[in-house]
Chains A and B, each alone.
Chain A
Amino acid sequence: MSGFGVWLRKELLEITRTWRRVVLPVLVLFLAVMSPVLAYITPELLRSAASNDPGVVISVPDPTAIDAIRQWAQSLGQIIMFAIIIVAAGSVSNDLRDGTGQLALVKPLGRAAFILAKFVTQVLFLALVVAVGAGVCGVATALIFGETPIANLVAVTLAWFVFAAMFVALMTLLSTLLGSQAAAVGAGLAIYVLFSIAGIWKPAQEFSPAGLLAGLDELASGTRPDLAIPVLASLAVGAIALYVAVIRFERMPIRQSTL
């Protein structure tokens, strides 16, 4: 993997010097703070809505810290996943479209190193941002509810992270194969929807990565579903996606930039 360390350094530097340092952290931190806030005010909002109509009686239990973690799990599984799909979709294709990758790939930089450095950078950055986000969510939950179910918060974040890392690998593959960020976003969203639907089906829940997405709410609530197989399946899918991306990229003609 000639040039992996150099290219990893460049990718990490790029995050600190471009818009990428802002978008995902701001979104994650916003949702980390808003998750306990939303959990706290949602029952009150519902009661308030019901009080406007005397014929309607809504019984809503008082919010708890568990609800804050469930809200965090929902944010991770939906909005943050969409952001990851959009950002990761351009990881390879943008460099090829812009011609910036071309200058590097005629140097002693292996194509496998090019792909894998991009994947590792994204996963490291995601890990950092989500770890900070989880911490902020935990602190905000403690401030609002007086307690934080830390084990639930950690379990949700870890399970989601495994799923998200697999998805970054899938997006790296799509970005390589399709050569267009827009096309990769479309394909990525379609795959996400398939995983979401598959999560409803029991066998898929037990034996595929869909089980991680479907299990987030249970983890947030404090039950501990057996997610060993979905974790292993996610790691396998991620590894296969990266392998295919590298193999395809090794024999892919790199065209001149058309910009």
Chain B
Amino acid sequence: MTAPPAIELDHLTRTFGKVTAVNDLSLVVPTGSIFGFLGPNGAGKSTALGILAGLDFPTSGTARILGHDVVAEAAVVRSTIGYLPDVPRFYSWMTAPEALDLMGRLFNLPDTLRKQRIEVVLDLAGLTGVNTPVGGFSRGMTQRLGIAQALINAPPVLLLDEPTSALDPLGRRDVLDIIGALAGRVTVFFSSHILSDVERVCDQIAILDKGEIKLESSMADLLVTSKSHRLLVEAASEHEATQLAELLRPESWASGVEQHLRHIDLTSSDIDAAQHRIPALVSSAGLGLRRFEIEERSLEDVFVDLVRPESS
């Protein structure tokens, strides 16, 4: 029998009145991956994470963590996850070790193990020896303590909701370093709208917009796609553009060939082939070429293309 995936969403839907925050979301997060859950603000990322963490409830569909239903088996799920909200809040009168001790006690960790775990996660978060009340912490320190509390029970699955969005560049780097250090040991489900953060630490991604999955891919495949080039070709006439588009469509290096009057837009994953084949095709067909431009596409272009309002 194969082990269940770390996270499995099956037609998950969450509505608030007439607003659909998460719409028929189906997703599988493989065990051991660092999964980037990308989307613009309001896409439904926090709602989905809230359901996984047991803070909210689905309107329909199911969500499972390590095979356990997050609603029906909430107690089991809560004992196997670590969760960090985008702005973690602690009791201001507690010190970091006290806050972690409280969380460790909630997991019923024995005294010796609890003390060990507190030392380990304080070290991981760079907070060893900090004994001032949490109320005086900077945002970066609070966020690092947030990660520490999420790891106190050594969870197999870690849910991080926008862990870097409120941080300055140094704080972001620290948090990403911590997440990167977990690779291979913990499944991390990491929501963000900061593409560079996702590119740096994630090996799988899904892009969410308006509550729906727009793209699900491994980071390696996405990087190949994102590193592809957009080409703009202008033929001598609309008729010749139609002919050239027909010649380009079967080419293996060309995708997304679209014609608009005399213009042809396409994407190429092999720029060398495109640079040689397009002039050759134009020449062999006896067509006229007015313009041939190459644009590099970034991961951001892929994201923007997927989540851009249709009107624009």
Contacts and interface: CB of A to CB of B under 8 A. Distances in A.
Interface of A: 2-3, 6-7, 9-10, 14, 17-18, 98-100, 102-110, 251, 253-257, 259
Interface string B57-81: 1000000000000000001001101
B88 interface: yes
A251 B83 CA distance: 19
B91 A253 contact: no
A105 B153 CA distance: 15
B107 A108 contact: yes
Contact of A100 (B90, B153, B161): B90
Nearest to A9: B105
A2 B50 contact: no
B86 interface: yes
Contacts of A106: 53-55, 78, 81, 83
Contacts of A100: 89-91
A253 B55 contact: yes
Tell which of B53, B55, B75 has the most Cβ of chain A within 10 Å: B55
Interface residues of B, number: 30
Contact of B93 (A14, A105, A110): A14
A102 B107 contact: no
Contact of B86 (A14, A254, A256): A256
Contacts of A9: 105
Tell which of B50, B90, B91, B107 has the most Cβ of chain A within 10 Å: B91
B85 A257 contact: yes
Nearest to A102: B85
Nearest to B94: A17
B149 interface: yes
Given A6-B106, A99-B88, A103-B90, A108 B81 contact: no
Contacts of A17: 93
Tell which of A98, A254, A256, A257 has the most Cβ of chain B within 10 Å: A256
A10 B102 contact: yes
B46 interface: yes
A3 B78 CA distance: 12
A254 B55 contact: yes
Contact of A107 (B56, B91, B107): B107
A251 B88 CA distance: 22
Contacts of A259: 87, 89
Given A9-B105, A103-B83, 13 more contacts: A3-B106, A6-B106, A18-B93, A99-B85, A99-B87, A102-B89, A108-B107, A253-B50, A253-B57, A254-B50, A254-B55, A256-B87, A256-B161
Nearest to A17: B93
Given A14-B93, A256-B50, A257-B87, A2 B75 contact: yes
A255 B14 CA distance: 14
B116 interface: no
Contacts of B78: 106-109
Contacts of B149: 103
Contact of B89 (A7, A10, A105, A257): A257
A18 B133 CA distance: 12
Interface string B87-113: 111110100000000110111100000
A82 B55 CA distance: 33
Contacts of A255: 55
A251 B55 CA distance: 9
Contacts of A2: 75
Contacts of A18: 93
Contacts of B146: 103
Contacts of B53: 106
B106 A256 contact: no
B187 to A, nearest CB: 16
